[in-house]
Structure 1
Amino acid sequence: MNILKKTKIVCTIGPKTENVELLKTLLQNGMNVMRLNFSHGNYEEHKNRINNFRQAMSETGIRGALLLDTKGPEIRTIKLKDGKDVVIKDGQKFVFTTDKNVVGDENKVAVTYEGFARDLKVGSVVLVDDGLIKLEVIEINGEEVVCIAQNSGELGQNKGINLPGISVQLPALSEKDIADLKFGCENNVDFIAASFIRKAQDVRDVRKILKENGGDRILIIS
């Protein structure tokens, strides 16, 4: 068995790499799969990339595959005063709340996930903005989670939050994800990379939507 033949090169294509000539160059140099990141961009932009990719394949005679990577359910910070980032200092107390009416500042911010306080416990770790800020939970009061910052950093609104080791009760598919899966079916993508899958039923839910929209042949990566 030649293991190398099973190894594929996946390239994420965005505004700087979406033109036909560059896609042809990528195909000629070994790109096997074009990945479209649906955390960014709109349908018009993604449709244009798909059309360009198919034109590049036609002109080079090289076959590639299309992969749609869903955004997936997320926990994010909500609004901050004047929309400006705030500085979190190492060792300071900082509060997360599920009260969406709160306008955040350097001491507190609201989050999108209603079960935030329910799922966490004292000692849990909260990572903000891809782990740039790390905090540890020291107290939970109703809908507020009090933390101690483990390092300094700037916190912005609409930043992603990860809760390592915590089984959150978010749905596997957001409304946006469902619409994106339908777009993938309409445009005959080859793969769906389903983000933040936690259990078998999540994959079944993705498969159900694909089947209902003519995407029976689409493969799921999770």
Structure 2
Amino acid sequence: MSRRTKIIITLGPATEAEETIGQLIDLGTNVFRLNMSHAKHEWAREMARRVRRAAAERAKHVAVLFDLTGPSIRTGDLDKPYELKIGDMVEFRKSTAAPSIPLTTTVNYDGLMDDVAEGRTLVVDNGTMLMEIKVRYDDRIICEVKTAGKMGSRRHINLPGTRLNLPALTEKDRSDLALAVECDADYIAGSFVRDAAHVRELREAVEALEGGAQIVSKIEDQEAIRNIDAIIQSTDVIMVARGDLGTEVDFEELPILQRRLVKRCHELGKRVIVATQLLESMIQNPTPTRAEVTDVANAAYEEADALMLSGETSVGLHPLRCVEALVKISNRIERTGGLGFGQCVLLRDERQKAARAAVTLVDSLPDARLIVLTRRGVMANHTAMLRPRTNGFYAFTPKDRVCRQLALTRNIEAFKLPFASTIDETIQRAIETLRQADLVKTGTPLVIVSDILSDHFAANSILLHHA
């Protein structure tokens, strides 16, 4: 039984060598993420080249995801970190304002003072420190430290429950976006997506550059949760980004939110990634904690399309062992079944209903395989969202990009196949490809579903065939 849950890893100093990238592909990595919050352009360009070369050497379809920084709020540079005690007063000011107290830093968002209110909570460094906004001026705010800690340079700031008037894309994002299109990125992730208009703005920017990347919307704050249905419907993929999201909500709410988001993505037919701190202890340690094993198992049990590693593989000491851990845990939990959210998909058109019929048929036949013929990947994604139980689920498409983009879709193995002039010949080519790969044997039941038009095969058609 092949692994169904896909794996996304973040490249960094620990994994940038081409040999290591090849090893990560061999171990089961499906998507490589380039975090533009930390990446220089030339480095990102070279990493994209290395991923493509390593994948081509192995005849694997592997995707590249550029993750934009987004409109994040960060503190300024400090000569040395502040050691903050409970009760200390800290100043956050515009870059043009002069310091007024000893513990002071700038912020990169001049509109902060207009958006916040006295008495609200300010969170620094992904929840490391909590502060209360005591005084607000036109050019600065003064906050009281509520939890002690160390505050260094360029630390991230969250403001739970506060509506921030940040742009969807910064100038840096637009520069990074142009690089992503130049590198033929398969996916581009928008950070701090707050509504459907942000998704549309990112998609229009990609299309204006004539890029073919699909859009990943990162859910990171309460406003995104309030607008979640519209965001899901306007995007290609949702990422449950538990780092920032976990600072925006009470921590006991996070598991409930994760499950709710995964289920809603199933219902509305969109792919979903679970990300952040899945194996955080493995940045230092060679084995995961038991809690981390359970966390990964839960995400696989929820039947998320993909699990994503960040620091574990970008700067961690054991990146290969991290991928091995995800593979082992996912394989094991998948043998027990899943939550069955695929039964909750809302079928809105004939294509989705045809996909449901195909999945019902293949699941009813012992040892049957499911084949999807697709030009753009749409039917393949619709079918995958219904979570077929078959151990063999294959998509055939004439386009390399579609093969790579299906690397993020749960359970699918994609093959590039030029479509013949007749559907019969296309089917025979597909079956021969599977035979050569030793994936089907003579007599294996094959359920073939397609939304392509031909003389003998209508759109949204299902065919039962035997290899």
Q: Structure 1 length as normaliser, TM-score?
A: 0.89
Partner of 1:221: 216
**One-letter amino acid of the counterpart of residue 192, structure 1:** I
CA-based RMSD: 2.1
Q: Distance in 1 between matches of 2:22 and 2:153?
A: 38
Q: Distance in 2 between matches of 1:62 and 1:210?
A: 26
Spell out, residue by residue over 1:183-213, the C-alpha distance to the aligned partner (whole angstroms, 9 max, x if none): 1111111001110111111111111111111
Residue 56 of structure 1: how far off its partner (Å): 0.7
**One-letter amino acid of the counterpart of residue 197, structure 2:** Q
**One-letter amino acid of the counterpart of residue 168, structure 1:** L
Residue 79 of structure 1: how far off its partner (Å): 4.1
Q: Distance in 2 between matches of 1:59 and 1:212?
A: 32
Q: Distance in 1 between matches of 2:161 and 2:125?
A: 17
Partner of 2:129: 133
**One-letter amino acid of the counterpart of residue 171, structure 1:** P
Q: Distance in 1 between matches of 2:95 and 2:18?
A: 47
1:123 maps to 2:119 = yes
1:208 maps to 2:193 = no
Residue 104 of structure 1: how far off its partner (Å): 8.1
Residue 105 of structure 1: how far off its partner (Å): 6.5
Residue 112 of structure 1: how far off its partner (Å): 2.0
1:155 maps to 2:151 = yes
Q: Structure 2 length as normaliser, TM-score?
A: 0.44
Q: How many residue pairs align between the two structures?
A: 217
Which residue of 156, 166, 170 maps to 2:162? 166
1:193 maps to 2:202 = no
**One-letter amino acid of the counterpart of residue 75, structure 2:** T
Q: Distance in 2 between matches of 1:68 and 1:200?
A: 20
Q: Distance in 2 between matches of 1:104 and 1:9?
A: 48
Partner of 2:32: 34
Partner of 1:18: 16
**Greater shift in the superposed pair: 101-110 or 31-40:** 101-110
**5+ residue gaps in structure 1?**
none
The alignment partner of 2:172 has SS state of helix
1:55 maps to 2:50 = no
Partner of 2:299: none
**One-letter amino acid of the counterpart of residue 138, structure 1:** K
**Greater shift in the superposed pair: 35-44 or 97-106:** 97-106
The alignment partner of 1:177 has SS state of helix
Q: Distance in 1 between matches of 2:204 and 2:113?
A: 32
Residue 174 of structure 1: how far off its partner (Å): 0.8
**Greater shift in the superposed pair: 113-122 or 201-210:** 113-122
Q: 1:19 to 1:91 in 2, by over 3 A?
A: same
> Whose Rg is larger?
2
Q: Distance in 2 between matches of 1:171 and 1:127?
A: 20
**Greater shift in the superposed pair: 150-159 or 68-77:** 150-159
**Greater shift in the superposed pair: 112-121 or 39-48:** 112-121
Residue 220 of structure 1: how far off its partner (Å): 0.3
Is contact 1:79-1:103 (8 Å) kept? Answer: no
Q: Distance in 2 between matches of 1:149 and 1:180?
A: 35
**Greater shift in the superposed pair: 106-115 or 164-173:** 106-115
Matches within 5 A, 1:63-78: 63-78=61-76
Q: Distance in 2 between matches of 1:99 and 1:212?
A: 33
Residue 103 of structure 1: how far off its partner (Å): 4.8
Partner of 2:142: 146
Residue 19 of structure 1: how far off its partner (Å): 1.8
1:108 maps to 2:104 = yes
Residue 33 of structure 1: how far off its partner (Å): 0.2
Partner of 2:329: none
Q: 1:84 to 1:27 in 2, by over 3 A?
A: same
The alignment partner of 2:76 has SS state of coil
Is contact 1:97-1:108 (8 Å) kept? Answer: yes
Percent identity among equivalent residues?
Answer: 35
Q: 1:98 to 1:134 in 2, by over 3 A?
A: same
Report 1 or 2 for greater relative contact order, CA contacts < 8 Å, sequence distance ≥ 6. 1
The alignment partner of 1:126 has SS state of strand
Tell me which protein shows more helix as a share of its residues: 2
Residue 54 of structure 1: how far off its partner (Å): 1.0
